[in-house]
Amino acid sequence: MLFTTVEQLINLAGSRKVNISDIMIEQEMASSEIDKETIYENMLEQLRIMEQAVDRGLSERLTSRSGLVRGDAKLLSEYSDTGRPLSGSLMTNAMAMSMATAEVNACMGAVVATPTAGSCGVVPACILSAGNHFNSNRTELVDALFAAGAIGLVIANNASISGAAGGCQAEIGSASGMAAAAVVQLAGGTPKQCADAVAIALKSILGLVCDPVAGLVEIPCIKRNATGTSLAIVSADMALAGIESAIPCDEVIDAMHRVGRSMPATLRETSMGGLATTETARKIEKSI
């Protein structure tokens, strides 16, 4: 491993005067023994799948077999087009993209787990919306995915990306941190700013429980993809403004790990606590 912590990742990128995505590509080449061109083409294919999911979710009012998904992504996209959103068109477009991807997942479509299927909307939505804003080219978008992957690798190895192991903070939280780093890189930020954005995002979602209604990755998961997307963009903006995290990123990741381990099983994807045990959730579960 070239790096096992965010600090090591930042130091490597800083000493070589490269982006964190360059270090991740080097790591992937070393671990997979695949040449750079092939690795790049593989990631480009992941980008294409993300774009297809976004396009489908925004163009169709998707309905899942449970009936719990009813095309909310398209509704949000149409609202965004009115020019009335309080949070601005970039933010609402990004949230719509995120929900679109999550709805495609709930409807058995192809998605990229970033880092999980339940949190699949955050990273693509942030990268595609920020890419549109910055007029990024395909190479820059692919590099942003590698940047997100670098952060995901550290979190997976030092904490968790599983809702069953660490609650939704491990899924939507990890995705938000990954996406925040990707957006900072797309904006031309430094590796240190990428790390601060990750820390800010993770601190803001620490302790989020995993409580899927009826055991399905639909409620509240899809809307959490949207809020996770907004968190990633806000965190990126703060870091790009020069705001630093008082707690180093690796310490935040360690805290997330400890919080996840201390959560009762009822709040870790078992549908035995949280929203899943509300009166309405029980009615939904019984009806389907």
Q: What is the pLDDT of residues 208-249, one digit of tens each?
A: 999 999 999 999 999 999 999 999 999 999 999 999 999 999
State the Rg of the chain over Cα.
18
Question: In whole angstroms, how far apart are CA 69 and each of 1, 27, 62, 79, 107?
Answer: 41, 38, 7, 18, 8
30: Cβ–Cβ under 8 A, 6 or more apart, which residues? 2
Q: What is the dihedral of CA 276, 280, 282, 288, to 10 degrees?
A: -100
Other residues' Cβ atoms within 10 Å of the Cβ of residue 89: 15
Helix (H), strand (E), coil (C) string for 98-120 = HHHHHHHHHCCCCCCCCCCCCCC
Q: Look at residue 10 in the predicted model and tell me its pLDDT.
A: 98
Q: Look at residue 159 in the predicted model and tell me its pLDDT.
A: 98
Does the bond joining 115 to the residue before it have cis omega, within 30 degrees of 0?
Answer: yes
Closest Cα partner for 16 from 25, 268, 4? Answer: 25
The residues facing 210 across adjacent strands are 268
Closest Cα partner for 124 from 140, 93, 145? Answer: 145
Q: Look at residue 20 in the predicted model and tell me its pLDDT.
A: 98
CA atoms within 13 A on the CB side of 66: 19
Residue bearing tokens 């939904």: 284
Q: Could you give the maximum distance between any two Cα atoms of the chain, in Å? A: 58
How far is the C-alpha of 67 from the C-alpha of 107, rounded, in Å?
Answer: 10
Q: Look at residue 273 in the predicted model and tell me its pLDDT.
A: 98
Q: Look at residue 3 in the predicted model and tell me its pLDDT.
A: 98
Q: Look at residue 170 in the predicted model and tell me its pLDDT.
A: 98
Other residues' Cβ atoms within 10 Å of the Cβ of residue 109: 16
Residue bearing tokens 């990306």: 161
pLDDT tens per residue across span 21-52: 999 999 999 999 999 999 999 999 999 999 99
Residues of the chain with pLDDT under 50: none
3-class state of residue 209 by DSSP: coil
Q: Look at residue 90 in the predicted model and tell me its pLDDT.
A: 96
How far is the C-alpha of 119 from the C-alpha of 174, rounded, in Å?
Answer: 9
Domain boundaries 6-287, CATH class: mainly alpha
Sketch the domain layout of the chain as residue ranges: 6-287
Average pLDDT, the chain: 98
Contact (Cβ atoms closer than 8 angstroms) between residue 120 and residue 112: yes
Q: Against a cut of 0.95, is the pTM above it? A: yes
